[in-house]
Amino acid sequence: MKTLLALMLFAALLPAAAQPEAKPDRTVSIVAERFFFSPSRITVKQGALVEFVLTSEDTEHGFHLAAARVNAVIPQQGKGELRVRFLASKKGKYAFECSRACGAGHNLMRGEVVVK
Ligand SMILES: [Cu+2]
């Protein structure tokens, strides 16, 4: 009993940094598939904290969103998802692209995030 109480106290005193991350304002699912992202154009509101949840319908793909300094792997179908956060602080258009050689149309595999 004393141990439990001590644990509860400890949890209550944990610094803010140890708390779970802030909830995103919006979650957007994106499906990657040879050779496109869908949706490939995502419009978000300025100031929003957006979480992209990326899954693949076939092979491994990459998600390179330079504006967020993100370049990560979207696992192949059935092997999970990639979650990426983007704070839409400035209005504009931010390109993203596949960053894993995934076949003949790889260079066409791109999209953009529009912050309004
Ligand atoms: Cu690719």
With contact defined as beta carbons under 8 Å apart, do 115 and 104 qualify?
no
Q: Which tens digit of pLDDT belongs to each residue from 46-74? A: 999 999 999 999 999 999 999 999 999 99
Q: Ligand 1 centroid vs 25 CA: distance in angstroms?
A: 29
Q: Ligand 1 centroid vs 100 CA: distance in angstroms?
A: 4
Mean pLDDT of the chain: 89
Give the whole-angstrom CA distance, residue 110 versus residue 98.
6
List for the chain the helix, strand, coil content (%; round to 5): 20, 45, 40
Q: Ligand 1 centroid vs 67 CA: distance in angstroms?
A: 19
Q: Ligand 1 centroid vs 36 CA: distance in angstroms?
A: 9
Write down all domains in the chain, each with its CATH number in brackets.
Answer: 22-115 (2.60.40.420)
- pLDDT, position 8: 54
pLDDT for 20 beyond 80: no
Q: Which tens digit of pLDDT belongs to each residue from 26-37? A: 999 999 999 999
- pLDDT, position 16: 47
